């Protein structure tokens, strides 16, 4: 069995092993493959199994590579594969769901705590000699925020939203949740409310909803106007949930006190993204998922996917094959 990994460097920059996949056949791992269909087709060649993270596999690629019998995505989202067309060609497509719940929730809280305490800034100030030259025994350059007794509103209350809510509740925060699906587990963590109620009553708003047509641009000038003055916004879900110019404007006026973002609408970020020049906007390069433990989970689940396919019983199939 010939197995190709099209873009393996982000999943495994060298601290993990591909041996779990290699035991099932002849494995070729490419660190990066461009979006050029000709390069993708050339690299897949006559492979039976293809693993991809962000490298697109559309109908043209599928038609040009008739040897492909199985596709597995090294992520939860599988929009990079034309799953419907693959189904029509009898090709099962699998993914790796829920591998990063703990890491993504932890990162959301890390963004929040950085906004509240500016840890990196104050550490840099100390290393620059400002503390040793200070006339006082301490100093701070930004208002420091205590989260106890404040309210976090979480838009999207699935696994990651609930994990974030548990951490925030452990810090003494009240949790509101807006979700199309309510559960008993969710009710043990949060009070379910409608979106307008959440917007009006939250000191911190965290986005943990998937990107659907109804959630695209859910953070915009109209919803921001319904928020408390000085609200903090967190988004390590999907960048397209925000109208970025509207958020930048709100940051610059102070309506939104600060934003902690791990995602933007176009990645890598473009130099003309308005959030780059906005006040109090903390942006990280889409790394919430990337803890070694999470990436090892991706590797383990991908091996499980391949093992099941090799046994004739594919698992975690997202296109009904």
List active site positions: 238, 267, 286
Q: Is the dihedral of CA 313, 210, 81, 5 positive or negative?
A: negative
Distance in angstroms (rounded) separating the CA atoms of residues 121 and 76: 34
Interacting residues of 14 by C-beta distance below 8 A, sequence separation 6+:
none
Can you tell me the distance from the alpha carbon of 231 to that of 153, in angstroms, rounded to the nearest whole number? 11
Q: Strands of the chain (E only): list them.
A: 2-5, 26-29, 49-52, 70-73, 93-94, 151-155, 174-178, 191-192, 204-207, 231-235, 256-261, 281-283
Specify burial of residue 211 (Cβ count, 10 A radius: 0-12, 13-18, 19+): middle
CA distances from 211 to 146, 175, 236 (A): 31, 22, 12
* Complete edge-to-edge strand list for the sheet that includes strand 191-192: 191-192, 174-178, 151-155, 204-207, 231-235, 256-261, 281-283
What secondary structure does DSSP assign to 254-284, as a single string?
Answer: TSEEEEEES--SSSSPPTT-GGGGSTTEEE-
285, two tokens: 């390069």
Q: How far is CA 80 from CA 4, 35, 112, 249, in A?
A: 16, 10, 31, 32
């Amino acid at each position: 069995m010939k197995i190709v990994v099209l873009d393996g460097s982000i999943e495994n920059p060298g601290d993990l092993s591909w041996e779990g996949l290699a035991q099932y056949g002849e494995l070729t791992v490419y660190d990066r493959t461009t979006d050029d269909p000709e390069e993708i087709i050339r690299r897949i060649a006559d492979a039976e199994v293809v693993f991809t993270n962000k490298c697109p596999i559309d109908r043209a690629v599928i038609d040009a590579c008739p040897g492909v019998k199985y596709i597995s995505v090294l992520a939860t989202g599988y929009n990079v594969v034309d799953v419907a067309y693959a189904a029509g060609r009898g090709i099962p497509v699998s993914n790796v769901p829920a591998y990063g719940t703990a890491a993504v929730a932890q990162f959301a809280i890390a963004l929040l705590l950085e906004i509240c305490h500016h840890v990196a800034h104050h550490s840099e100030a100390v290393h620059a000699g400002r503390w040793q030259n200070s006339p006082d025994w301490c100093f701070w350059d930004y208002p420091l925020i205590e989260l106890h007794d404040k309210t976090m509103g979480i838009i999207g209350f699935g696994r990651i939203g609930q994990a974030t809510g548990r951490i925030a509740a452990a810090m003494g925060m009240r949790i509101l949740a807006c979700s199309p699906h309510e559960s008993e587990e969710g009710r043990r963590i949060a009070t379910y409310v409608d979106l307008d109620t959440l917007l009006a009553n939250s000191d911190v708003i965290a986005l943990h909803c998937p990107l659907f047509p109804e959630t695209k641009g859910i953070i915009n000038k109209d919803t921001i106007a319904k928020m408390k003055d000085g609200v903090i916004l967190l988004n390590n879900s999907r960048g397209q949930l925000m109208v970025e110019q509207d958020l930048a404007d709100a940051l610059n006026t102070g309506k939104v006190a600060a934003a902690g973002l791990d995602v933007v609408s176009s990645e890598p970020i473009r130099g003309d993204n308005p959030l780059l020049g906005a006040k109090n906007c903390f942006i990280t390069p889409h790394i919430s998922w990337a803890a070694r433990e999470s990436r090892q989970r991706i590797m383990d689940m991908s091996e499980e996917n391949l093992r099941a396919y090799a046994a004739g019983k594919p698992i975690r199939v997202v296109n009904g094959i």
